[in-house]
Amino acid sequence: MSTVYASPIWLGRPHCPVIVTTGAGAVVTAALGSLTLTATADANGLCAMKLPRRGRWSFTAVLGGKRGFGTLAVPGQRSLSLPLYSTTLAENSWAEIAAAAGVSKGTLYYYYKNKTDILFDLTNRYLDRQWDELIAWTENKDKDTSVHRLVKYVVERNTASAGMRLHLIHAAMLGDEALRAKLIDRYAAFERLIAEKIAERTDVVSADYLTQLILLASDGMIVQEALRNDNFDAAAFVRQSEAYLRVLRPADRI
């Protein structure tokens, strides 16, 4: 596995080594604003990079007609998995999905009636973990969980599941009513939880309004990253939002 630097080389020592796991031979691109690095995964599907700046980097892995998407907050996170999928879920065969999951096709057929159900189940498990982590983080007395930090935490983790959520939203838009109802229920549950945590930390602004703003901003960031819009700097947006929201912390609150 070789370590790949950006081209051109920026002055100064790269300080954030990361490991990306994806398909063997996939071309991996990391982007932060106008900065980009490109590397190729080795025969084991491993790609080492040294990132020259802190921030939330967007990663894309491409191999043939398949892609993987993800984001990584540097320097807090050091590794990222980018499974490769076709641009639409239907193009991924049951055999490919079974191989990626390490189970037989028969097992998949037993538990799932279609591929969208598989993706929703994966997303649901991820969101369950995200829910538990959010509660644990907000209740950790050793951390600064004031409202500006809370918003940063939520936005960064909401955008980390970009690829899965885009697939689900696309399927719901095409007429999967059961999936659409499940997504709306999930949004509502997260909205209630986030609003509750915000209300505990500030009364300067409506907790319901700020929660809706967070969720809309997260979805917008996912779309911009999927479009690979170089004019949108997600890391800068999060930093600016965090700075602005510092004014919403009354002195007598957490």
Q: Which amino acid is at 187?
A: Y
Q: What's residue 7's pLDDT?
A: 40
Q: With 0-12 CB in 10 A as exposed, 13-18 as middle and 19+ as buried, what is 96? A: middle
CA–CA separation, 41 and 61 (whole Å): 9
Q: What's residue 249's pLDDT?
A: 56
Q: What's residue 8's pLDDT?
A: 40
CA–CA separation, 121 and 100 (whole Å): 15
Q: What's residue 93's pLDDT?
A: 77
β-bridge mates for residue 207, sequence order = none
Quick: pLDDT tens for 55-97: 888 898 998 878 888 888 888 788 888 888 765 656 677 877 7
CB 164 within 8 A of CB 82: no
CB 19 within 8 A of CB 46: yes
- Assessment of whether the complete model's pTM goes beyond 0.85: no
Q: In which residue are the tokens 């690095």 written?
A: 37
Instruction: Give 78-97 as a DSSP string.
Output: -EEE---EESSGGGS-HHHH
Local structure of residue 51 (DSSP, 8 states): E
Residue 155: CB atoms within 10 A of its CB come to 21
CB 228 within 8 A of CB 57: no
Local structure of residue 102 (DSSP, 8 states): T
Quick: pLDDT tens for 114-129: 877 887 787 788 778 8
Local structure of residue 246 (DSSP, 8 states): G
Q: What does the longest C-alpha to C-alpha distance in the chain come to?
A: 59
CA–CA separation, 102 and 63 (whole Å): 21
Total residues belonging to the chain: 254
All residue ranges of the chain with pLDDT < 50 are: 1-12, 251-254
Q: Which residues contact 155 (CB under 8 A, 6 or more apart)?
A: 214, 217, 218, 221, 238, 241
Q: What's residue 27's pLDDT?
A: 94
Q: What's residue 20's pLDDT?
A: 93
